[in-house]
């Protein structure tokens, strides 16, 4: 689960991480009032979207007067911001963060994340702050410092000293940075983050150490431990189709291809997507209908799959176990009546009550292309998607 920068800032504050003063605004007038209250001569106006790369996409601008704050805010609020991470459609901006301008002496990259292969949390840090860390990793990997963190020990002072020394810090600034790093680790662990990325962490001309940006993601599987985090969800930043699918109780992930898949079981759904790719096709989604699928759920799944104009064919792949083939077949027939089927439908069905399921589909007289194996089903779907 992702949250906005302004929400992450509040959490950082609760953990006594120092941040530059700022507040979030929902309209241009409010933005101006906040800037006035903050005082100073420069303000950063920052679009609040669940994506990075805002600076380059025009989502972070500096204003030098209250009029300018108001003007920039009025332009940003209501726009769809396109960045490298949003895709072409962009993300809607409904709030802007007004932050007191700071004079940057140097910028660093700091990121806490989970290294699954190492089964450990890891701190990545670099003196190349403000840049895309992916670029640094590709071009100057030696400029990234990496520390695996013992979950019980936490980030020790010794480790934090070593990291900040490698970043080139010393003296009072280093002491401040060490505290910031240890507190950031505290946030990461306590909040069950999957990512806490500060890019840039800055040292100001006045010698303060501040996170100037904060990207905080939570581990969805740990959300039950943080009921307060659920209140931070912003549905406007989520893919509307995925939201609808989750509300219907489907495990659904939107993809870029044109072959929609409806499968029972996550493993089988992955195998189905692999097999489609093996035959040269591209899946339009991952969809696990789960063990307890009802005809209503199948209908919801069909509606969601057909709502994407890119979809050229639907591939249903069912292995009947606890979920019986006849139940799914009834669901398919009902769904096809409820949602006008506009694309070819390929069905592969094996397992419990297989014959019964196939009979229901035959008797429905629906134009279904049937297949006996996953390979055959995928090949037929790929050919149909290509218009053959
Ligand atoms: P991102 O592009 O989505 O990662 O957004 P950031 O919050 O990192 O902002 C992009 C860049 O804007 C930062 O790397 C900074 O260089 C710059 N920036 C943001 N706030 C300020 C500020 O108050 N003063 C100055 N001088 N630069 C800022
Ligand atoms: Mn950033």
The ligand placed nearest to the CA atom of residue 84 is: 1
Q: How far is the CA of 144 from the centre of ligand 2 (A)?
A: 17
Q: Indicate the burial class of 209 (C-beta count within 10 angstroms; 0-12, 13-18, 19 or more).
A: buried
pLDDT for the residue numbered 240: 85
CB-based contact 28:74 (threshold 8 Å): yes
The model's confidence at residue 38, banded by pLDDT at 50, 70 and 90, is very high
Q: What whole-number distance in Å separates Cα of residue 40 and Cα of residue 373?
A: 69
Q: How many residues are recorded in the chain?
A: 388
CB atoms within 10 A of CB 298: 25
Domains of the chain (ranges; CATH) run: 21-100 (3.30.1490.20), 105-227 (3.30.470.20), 239-385 (3.40.50.261)
Q: What whole-number distance in Å separates Cα of residue 105 and Cα of residue 210?
A: 11
Q: pLDDT by residue (tens digit) across 319-361?
A: 988 888 998 899 999 999 888 888 999 999 999 999 999 999 9
Looking at residues 176-195, what average pLDDT do you find?
A: 98
pLDDT for the residue numbered 293: 78
Please choose, from the candidates 92, 81, 88, the residue with its C-alpha nearest in 3D space to the C-alpha of residue 59.
81
The model's confidence at residue 11, banded by pLDDT at 50, 70 and 90, is very high
Give, using CA atoms, the residue closest to atom 6 of ligand 1. 213
Residue located via tokens 């949003």 = 86
pLDDT for the residue numbered 164: 98
Looking at residues 153-158, what average pLDDT do you find?
A: 98
Q: Is the CB of 200 under 6 A from ligand 1?
A: yes
Q: How far is the CA of 2 from the centre of ligand 2 (A)?
A: 15
Active site residues per annotation: 109, 197
Q: What whole-number distance in Å separates Cα of residue 161 and Cα of residue 152?
A: 19
Q: Is the CB of 102 under 6 A from ligand 1?
A: yes
CB-based contact 181:162 (threshold 8 Å): no
Q: To the nearest whole number, what is the mean pLDDT of the chain? A: 94
Give, using CA atoms, the residue closest to atom 25 of ligand 1. 102
CB-based contact 51:91 (threshold 8 Å): yes
Q: pLDDT by residue (tens digit) across 57-95?
A: 999 999 999 999 999 999 999 999 999 988 888 999 999
Q: What whole-number distance in Å separates Cα of residue 283 and Cα of residue 314?
A: 10
Q: pLDDT by residue (tens digit) across 100-148?
A: 999 999 999 999 999 999 999 999 999 998 878 888 989 999 999 999 9
pLDDT for the residue numbered 360: 94
Whether the pLDDT of residue 370 is over 80: the answer is yes
pLDDT for the residue numbered 252: 92
CB-based contact 61:69 (threshold 8 Å): no
Q: Is the CB of 44 under 6 A from ligand 1?
A: yes
Q: Indicate the burial class of 156 (C-beta count within 10 angstroms; 0-12, 13-18, 19 or more).
A: middle
Give, using CA atoms, the residue closest to atom 28 of ligand 1. 44
pLDDT for the residue numbered 324: 87
Residue 272, both tokens:
């189905």
Strands laid side by side in the 259-263 sheet: 251-254, 285-288, 259-263, 313-320, 345-351, 368-371
Looking at residues 354-383, what average pLDDT do you find?
A: 94
The model's confidence at residue 268, banded by pLDDT at 50, 70 and 90, is very high
Whether the pLDDT of residue 380 is over 90: the answer is yes
């Amino acid at each position: 689960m992702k949250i906005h920068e302004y929400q992450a800032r509040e959490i950082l504050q609760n953990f006594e991480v120092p941040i530059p003063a700022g507040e979030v605004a929902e309209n241009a007038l409010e933005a101006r009032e906040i800037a006035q209250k903050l005082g100073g001569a420069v303000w950063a106006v920052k679009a609040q979207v669940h994506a990075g790369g805002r600076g380059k996409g025009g989502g972070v601008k500096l204003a030098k007067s209250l009029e300018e704050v108001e003007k920039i805010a009025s332009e940003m609020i209501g726009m769809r911001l396109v960045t490298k991470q949003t895709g072409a459609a962009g993300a809607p901006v409904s709030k802007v963060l007004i932050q007191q301008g700071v004079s940057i002496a140097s910028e660093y990259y700091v990121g806490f994340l989970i290294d699954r292969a190492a089964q450990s949390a890891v701190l990545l840090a670099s003196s190349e702050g403000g840049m895309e860390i992916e670029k640094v990793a590709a071009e100057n990997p030696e400029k990234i410092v990496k520390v695996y963190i013992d979950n019980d020990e936490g980030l020790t002072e010794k480790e934090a000293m070593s990291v900040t020394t490698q970043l080139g810090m010393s003296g009072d600034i280093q002491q401040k940075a060490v505290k910031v790093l240890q507190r950031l680790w505290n946030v990461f662990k306590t909040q069950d983050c999957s990512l806490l990325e500060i890019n840039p962490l800055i040292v100001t001309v006045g010698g303060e150490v501040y996170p100037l940006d904060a990207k905080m993601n939570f581990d969805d599987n740990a959300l039950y431990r943080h009921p307060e985090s659920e209140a931070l969800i912003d549905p406007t930043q989520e893919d509307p189709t995925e939201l609808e699918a989750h509300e219907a109780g489907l495990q659904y992930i939107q993809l870029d291809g044109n072959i929609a898949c409806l499968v029972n079981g996550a493993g089988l759904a992955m195998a189905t997507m692999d097999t489609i790719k093996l035959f040269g096709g591209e899946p339009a989604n991952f969809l696990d209908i789960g063990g307890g699928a009802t005809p209503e759920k199948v209908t919801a799944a069909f509606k969601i799959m057909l709502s994407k104009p890119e979809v050229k064919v639907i591939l249903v792949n069912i292995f009947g176990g606890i979920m019986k083939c006849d139940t799914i077949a009834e669901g398919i027939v009902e769904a096809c009546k409820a949602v006008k089927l506009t694309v070819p439908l390929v069905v592969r069905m094996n397992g419990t009550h297989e014959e019964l399921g196939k009979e229901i589909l035959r008797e429905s007289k629906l134009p279904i292309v049937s297949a006996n194996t996953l390979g055959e089903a995928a090949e037929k779907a790929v050919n149909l998607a290509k218009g053959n």
